[in-house]
Amino acid sequence: FMTFHPPVTQAVLDAFPEGDLLYGKPMPVGAARAALTQGSAGWWSRVCWLIDAPERLTEYGALASALDTELRIAFEVDVGLHRGGFSSPAEIRALTIPERLRCEGIMAYEAHAPEIPGLFGGTAKA
């Protein structure tokens, strides 16, 4: 699943006990802290938090340490739509992932029809 707000996240996880979830936007660390401390016990192990900048990575590392837990993360990458995230593999390679964060992968917004790169046939094949 992908959700964007903590109350919806909690409802989805409650309704689907076997479900796994990725936040569809980077969550401010204060909102993440509130969700983690107010949500049902253990639900955070089923959530993957989106990281879009080195500063957010540091904040989430500090949060995981403060809560004495491991958090799953995914890196948001910019594939040319300029909606945010890391714009090159080198930016991600340069990061030091804090000990209590576990990288699950990357997330990117796919191109909308007018923005499909020529590599994939451009808009003619959309």
> How many other CB atoms are there within 10 angstroms of residue 76's CB atom?
22
In CATH, the architecture of 2-111 is Alpha-Beta Barrel (3.20)
Residue 118 has what pLDDT? 57
Residue 126 has what pLDDT? 47
Return d(Cα 71, Cα 99) in angstroms, integer: 10
Provide block-wise average pLDDT over 10 residues at a time, the chain (126 residues).
88 90 92 84 85 97 95 89 82 94 87 54 53
> How many other CB atoms are there within 10 angstroms of residue 71's CB atom?
22
> Treating both helix axes as pointing N-terminal to C-terminal, what angle do 29-38 and 6-15 enclose, rounded to 10 degrees?
40
Residue 119 burial (CB < 10 Å; 0-12/13-18/19+)?
exposed
| SS3 label, residue 49 | strand
